[in-house]
Amino acid sequence: MAASAPRVAVIGGGVIGAMSAWQLAGRGARVTVFDRYGRGHDRGASAGESRIFRTIYKEGGGYVPLLRRAGELWRELEATSGRELLTLCGGLTIGLPEHPDLLSVRRCAREHELPHRILDSTQAGGTFPQHRMDRAEIAVFDPNAGVLRPEPAVQAALDAAESLGAEIRSYQPVDELAETATGWRITVDGHRFDTDHVLLCPGPWARTLLPRKEISVQARLITACWFAARDVAGHRPDRLPIAVRRHAEAGFSCFPVLDGVAVKIVPHHLGWPDLDDPGDLPRGAEPAFAKAASAAVERLLPGLVPHPVRIGTYAEGFTPDEHAIVGPLPGSANATVLTGFSGHGFKLAPVLGEIAGDLVFHGKSGYDIGHLDPSRFA
């Protein structure tokens, strides 16, 4: 590796930091990743057995080029690692035709000429009987959606970065960051490290690591529940697409069986409460939460036993407009920030790593990321 290669410290080894390290090391940077936990840990947002990948995007058609590139890079990482990380099982958005999410995905599909099917409740019930639909509801089917495996994905990206020369420092939380005349000084457990550029990927720890005046990210609690399938074969990825359900009584994300036992449900309608400190993440759910999640499953997913067999909790960082913060850190030289992905960053992580490489090496990216500018909250 050339001695002139920039030294880059990546703070945070979740999926965004891991993908950034992979991309940066591939461009010749001397990369060191610092994380407070181990590779593929379950404390932040890069965990939970399964995550959604989709190309028809309710958050806006401007993401479609990023998603297309992300899909290519997911396949590249699979080839590099020899692991299956993305299974295209299709995806459903279910709800009333006039619901904003249904309107958004239909508009995105039209504007970008993305393959899709619109099914009425009878058609959807015949094709996907796992979902109980009301008569007035419709389903939008995205054949290019699927399920990602987060823990292996983070590990694969870190392994790929390490194979390219990156150093991965697990269980080493950063105590202090200080800007110097030529770069940054990082203090970890009393030890100091000097670097040319710092890449900040703190996830829900953004407020802990960065001054509030520079960043606007609120840590929130995400709770997932797993419900045993009565017919496991009928709920595997070859039969059950991922789904986002918008219903008057419940809203949730639904994932096919990956563990041989259960379907994962992430309730949306029960709220994602704020966390003062993601380090104090509760490791279970209140009985009232489990009861309400069970009621939603009993009403809308008849093939599941309506009592959770497993519950997992995770922390995620949300911005006020629920779009990420990606770009140079305002008021600081040689610092780039990627955080606040608001529950929909995982699928984009490989291309965000590519963008991080652009920003570190060139200070800008050819991708359209103006709506993610960190200074918009200043």
Same-domain check for residues 156 and 137: no
Domain that holds residue 208: 7-49+150-217+321-377
Please tell me the distance from the alpha carbon of residue 249 to that of residue 294, in angstroms, as a whole number.
12
Q: Are 21 and 163 in contact (CB under 8 A)?
A: no
pLDDT exceeds cutoff 70 at 211: no
Same-domain check for residues 135 and 237: yes
Task: Give rounded-to-5 percent helix, strand, coil for the chain.
Answer: 30, 30, 40
Determine the length of the chain: 378
Residue 55 is assigned to a structural domain of this protein:
no
Same-domain check for residues 118 and 225: yes
pLDDT band at 1 (very low <50, low <70, confident <90, very high): very low
Which helix H or strand E contains 337, and what residues bound it?
strand 335-339
Q: What is the pLDDT of residue 188?
A: 96
What residues have CB less than 8 Å from 120, skipping those under 6 apart?
138
Q: What is the pLDDT of residue 2?
A: 46
Please tell me the distance from the alpha carbon of residue 157 to that of residue 163, in angstroms, as a whole number.
10
Same-domain check for residues 209 and 328: yes
Residue 62 is assigned to a structural domain of this protein:
no
Q: Which has more confidence, 15 or 332? A: 15
Q: Summarize the confidence of residues 70-99 as an average pLDDT.
A: 98
Nearest Cα neighbor of 297 from 228, 219, 222 is 228
User: What is the edge-to-edge ordering of all strands in the sheet holding 138-142?
Assistant: 117-120, 138-142, 91-95, 242-246, 251-255, 262-267, 218-229, 304-318
Same-domain check for residues 258 and 346: no
Q: Are 281 and 43 in contact (CB under 8 A)?
A: yes
What are the pLDDT digits (tens) for 134-183?
Answer: 999 999 999 999 999 999 999 999 999 999 999 999 999 999 999 999 99
Q: Summarize the confidence of residues 105-120 as an average pLDDT.
A: 97
Same-domain check for residues 116 and 227: yes
Q: Which residue has the tokens 């703190």?
A: 202
DSSP 237: T
Specify the CATH number for the domain of residue 159.
Answer: 3.50.50.60
Residue 64 is assigned to a structural domain of this protein:
no
pLDDT exceeds cutoff 80 at 240: yes
Residues pairing with 69 in the sheet: none
pLDDT band at 111 (very low <50, low <70, confident <90, very high): very high
Q: Which of 318, 343, 358 is the last residue of a domain?
A: 318
Specify the CATH number for the domain of residue 119.
Answer: 3.30.9.10
Same-domain check for residues 275 and 286: yes
Residue 78 is assigned to a structural domain of this protein:
no
Nearest Cα neighbor of 147 from 276, 6, 256, 244 is 256
Same-domain check for residues 179 and 226: no
pLDDT-above-70 percentage for the chain = 98
Q: Summarize the confidence of residues 284-310 as an average pLDDT.
A: 96
C-alpha count within 13 angstroms, C-beta hemisphere, residue 53? 31
User: What is the edge-to-edge ordering of all strands in the sheet holding 146-148?
Assistant: 51-53, 146-148, 86-87
Q: Please report, for residues 31, 239, 257, the alpha-carbon distance to residue 233 in angstroms, rounded to integers and kept in the order given.
A: 44, 8, 9
Q: What is the pLDDT of residue 84?
A: 97
Mean pLDDT lowest among 135-149, 214-228, 289-303: 214-228
Q: Which of 318, 339, 360 is the last residue of a domain?
A: 318
What are the pLDDT digits (tens) for 30-40?
Answer: 999 999 999 99
Same-domain check for residues 225 and 368: no
Q: What is the pLDDT of residue 212?
A: 53
pLDDT exceeds cutoff 60 at 3: no
Please tell me the distance from the alpha carbon of residue 10 to that of residue 16, in angstroms, as a whole number.
10
Same-domain check for residues 161 and 212: yes
Q: Which two tokens stand for residue 123?
A: 């058609």
Mean residue pLDDT across the chain: 95
Domain count, the chain: 2
Residue 338 is assigned to a structural domain of this protein:
yes
Please tell me the distance from the alpha carbon of residue 23 to that of residue 358, in angstroms, as a whole number.
9
Please tell me the distance from the alpha carbon of residue 145 to that of residue 306, in angstroms, as a whole number.
26
Residue 331 is assigned to a structural domain of this protein:
yes
pTM strictly above 0.75: yes
Same-domain check for residues 359 and 280: no
What are the pLDDT digits (tens) for 340-371?
Answer: 999 999 999 999 999 999 999 999 999 999 99
User: Which of left, alpha, beta for 48 (phi over 0: left; psi -120 to 50: alpha)?
Assistant: left
Residue 360 is assigned to a structural domain of this protein:
yes
pLDDT band at 258 (very low <50, low <70, confident <90, very high): very high
Please tell me the distance from the alpha carbon of residue 264 to that of residue 255, in angstroms, as a whole number.
5
Residue 274 is assigned to a structural domain of this protein:
yes
Q: Summarize the confidence of residues 263-271 as an average pLDDT.
A: 95
Same-domain check for residues 180 and 206: yes
